[in-house]
Structure 1
Amino acid sequence: MSDGRSGGSAPTVLRMVLGKRLRQLREQAGVSFDEAAGIIDVTPLTVRRMEKAEVGLRIPYVRELLAAYGVAPGEIDDFLALARKANEPGWWYKYRDVLPDWFSAYVSLESEATVIRVYEPHYVPGLLQTHDYTAALMRVGFPNEPREDIERRVALRMRRQDLLAKPESPALWAIVEETVLRRPVGGAEVMRAQIDRLVEACDLPKVRIQVMRHSAGAHPGAFGPFHYFRFGFSELPDVVYTESLVGAVYADQPAEVVTYLEVLDRMTVQAEPVSRTREILAELRKEL
């Protein structure tokens, strides 16, 4: 999962979790890749790809493997029920015409995370953007696309924001550069509404926003934006997402993730405290 730049349909988080669980059960049973492949008459590569969630979980294959691993019949039925659910497309599938494969995995991770931490030096984080702010960004980012496609991209981002209204919404902690709040995206009216949206977000019980002032000087995260995800599944490690214009990288190796977490912790100390965010937003709004 370390590199998300390859093509193909992105897996749901549940499929990632079940793939890792399959690997754990195989290893606990002392079954090698070659032996597992022989059980279902496929190549060892197919078994590897199932465990890495690179392909769908074929129910007959999974049933035979679980039986060979010594899993109890009742537990097999439960696992297969989850596998069928995992094979269903995510809600974002209907936006596949405007959603790059490498970003589909991001939406899946975002939808299932219990904690999301964001550093954003360029724009307001997507989960906190207004419709008009998003539309202005999309028109700049995709200048040659027809209006219908722009509208679908905006609709996708707005649909993602439903996450914050759910009772089981993740904890969202965003560090935003002061430059983000001063950059005139879409004009003064759009920016006033966007700042108002951020003020409203400060009232959400699981949302924390910090502003990194210019006066804070250099800080360890200044190289670019990144997003950190934590999940409620023991099988799924923490993941850090970074992107470029043409792809993305999903880092899940412990040493890499710890590096980003340490940077985030240092940045929270340099940024203005959460208690001052509303005051800062009010000051910046007056300047518009």
Structure 2
Amino acid sequence: MSGGPLPSGQNAPTVLRIVLGKRLRELREERRLGLSDAARVLDVNQLTVRRLESGQVGFKLPYVKALLELYEVRPEEAGEFLAMTEQANKPGWWHSFRDALPDWFRAYVSLETSASVLRVYEPHYVTGLLQTADYARAVIRAGFPEAPAEAVEQRVELRLRRQDLLDSPDAPSLWVVMEEAALRRFVGPPRVMRTQIGRLIEALERPRITLRILPLAAGAHPGTSGHFTYFRFGERELQDIVYTEVGLTSALYYDQRRDVVPHLETHTGMSQLAAKLVPDARAYLTGLQKEYDR
């Protein structure tokens, strides 16, 4: 992680907690107060204040009230802040799936749930937000061959639950660049692939979903280093963030401009190349679906 606000472990915060932490930092800086001033009022060390401002710990209401008084926040604004604090302390919906969520992926689900724009590059599989249940089950079984059936089904349920955000009134814009290899890789029997391709065809009808297919003929390109997801948010306090996986058991979350911009430019370039080489994704998918009928 490059200077970002997101831990990848057990205490991965909700986006609201990150937003409130940054607002607390802004209020402190507006008053020209240092970390030591806030720490003195709370009777804690400066590291605790820093972790509070980065959203890495839960907000204790007495702490927040004391800081708002120190920063001379107006009563009506303080009331709104405290109400948001109570909301931020509530666990995300994914908390009930904690046994199915790797530590390093918990922050991802929080970001995904709150993003206004998602840009995804998928070289290996259909992206999780567009997977059918049978396809997801086959992918998960391949990744966790020793897992009991109950654990597999819990992961499938989590993946399908994540897809609910696409049907919400404030659904994000989802822009996916997918390698042709991901669509030609058999995941389960042909019937699973036929249904999965059908799901992608249906997704093309959604105005907030863009799907680009990068054919094998594209050859080598900047994105071949691996899967990544780019997040953009409506909240002014949150900068763009990029998620990349590292091996099989960890991930990195970047929020520094020097790291985020190259991923954004790469995604845009791949999308333009894909649109040029496969200008009609629907026609391509329809033809591919027929191949799985044979």
**TM-score calculated relative to the size of structure 2:** 0.95
- 1:95-134 to 2 correspondence within 5 Å? 95-134=97-136
Aligned to 1:265: 268
Q: Deviations over 1:5-31 (max 9, x none)?
A: 753221000001111111111111111
Distance 2:18 2:220 in 1: 37
Distance 1:187 1:228 in 2: 32
Aligned equivalent of 1:172, options 171, 174, 181: 174
Aligned to 1:248: 251
Letter in 1 for 2:21: G
* Structure 2: stretches of 5+ with no match in the other structure: none
Aligned to 1:11: 13
Aligned equivalent of 1:77, options 62, 67, 79: 79
Distance 1:104 1:84 in 2: 20
**Distance change (3 Å), C-alpha of 1:23 and 1:5:** closer
Letter in 2 for 1:269: Q
Give percent identity, aligned residues only. Answer: 54
- 1:112-261 to 2 correspondence within 5 Å? 112-244=114-246, 245-261=248-264
Q: Deviations over 1:160-217 (max 9, x none)?
A: 0001011110000000000011000011110000000000000011000000011112
Letter in 2 for 1:219: H
- Farther-moved stretch of structure 1 (265-274 vs 164-173): 265-274
Letter in 2 for 1:268: S
The 4+ residue runs of structure 1 with deviation greater than 4 A are 3-6
**For 1:116, what is the secondary structure of its paired residue?**
strand
In 2, are the aligned partners of 1:26 and 1:69 still within 8 Å (CA)? yes
Letter in 2 for 1:30: R
Aligned equivalent of 1:48, options 26, 34, 50: 50
Letter in 2 for 1:226: F
- Farther-moved stretch of structure 1 (1-10 vs 188-197): 1-10
Matched, 1:282 2:286: yes
Letter in 2 for 1:272: A
How many residues matched? 288
**Residue 272 of structure 1: CA displacement?**
2.9
- Farther-moved stretch of structure 1 (138-147 vs 266-275): 266-275
**Residue 102 of structure 1: CA displacement?**
1.3
Aligned to 1:39: 41
Q: Deviations over 1:29-71 (max 9, x none)?
A: 1110111100111111110000111100111001110111111
In 2, are the aligned partners of 1:5 and 1:247 still within 8 Å (CA)? no
**For 2:121, what is the secondary structure of its paired residue?**
strand
**Residue 220 of structure 1: CA displacement?**
1.0
In 1, are the aligned partners of 2:233 and 2:239 still within 8 Å (CA)? yes
* Structure 1: stretches of 5+ with no match in the other structure: none
Letter in 2 for 1:176: M
In 2, are the aligned partners of 1:213 and 1:271 still within 8 Å (CA)? yes
